[in-house]
Amino acid sequence: MSNGYNTKSKNTIIEILKTNKETALCAESILEVFNQKCQKVNITTIYRNLDKLEKEKIINKFPASDSHKALYQIACHDLKNEEHLHLQCSQCGKIIHLDCEYMKKFIQHIKDYHEFDLTCDKSILFGLCQVCKNKNLNI
């Protein structure tokens, strides 16, 4: 799983991201979970471990839709192929891995008709998930 040392902090970050696998979390949110578990750690330790985990391809790093913060999510290694787009809810942060035949056709269309090769590993389309959309309608 990892080429580096497995520290308690690193393992806790993996556990937190696995528990929240449908949502991408920022470093500050991960720190809040540490504090809730009464584990003392500083934000620098969180960032250092997140960088290592990304390099080891254990987690994915995404840009946040509303700020310059980064969001992190446990990597989904059980997908059929690595090339896929992501859908991210602008309200709750949920990320959906878009690995379907239509997405493959879309990528091929962009290549054939627009002469542009997409790099999909960090590509995100923003919008509202069905849960958040329904919440907004009920307000």
Q: How confident is the model at residue 1 (pLDDT cuts 50, 70, 90)?
A: very low
**Is 48 in the same domain as 10?**
yes
**Is 126 in the same domain as 91?**
yes
**Is 93 in the same domain as 106?**
yes
The answer to whether the CB of 65 falls within 8 A of the CB of 12 is no
pLDDT tens digits along 11-27: 999 999 999 887 788 89
Among candidate residues 38, 58, 77, the one where a domain is terminated? 77
What domain range includes position 3? 1-77
Q: What is the pLDDT of residue 125?
A: 83
**Is 87 in the same domain as 132?**
yes
pLDDT tens digits along 56-66: 989 988 877 66
Task: Flag whether pLDDT at 79 surpasses 60.
Answer: no
Q: How confident is the model at residue 122 (pLDDT cuts 50, 70, 90)?
A: low
What does the chain come to in residues? Answer: 139
Q: What is the pLDDT of residue 16?
A: 93
Cβ contacts of 42 within 8 Å, gap of 6 or more: none
pTM value?
0.67
**Is 47 in the same domain as 104?**
no
The answer to whether the CB of 55 falls within 8 A of the CB of 8 is no
Q: What is the pLDDT of residue 2?
A: 46
Mean pLDDT over all residues of the chain? 83
**Is 9 in the same domain as 38?**
yes
The H or E element containing residue 18 is helix 8-19
Among candidate residues 77, 102, 121, the one where a domain is terminated? 77
pLDDT tens digits along 85-119: 788 888 877 778 777 788 888 888 999 999 998 87
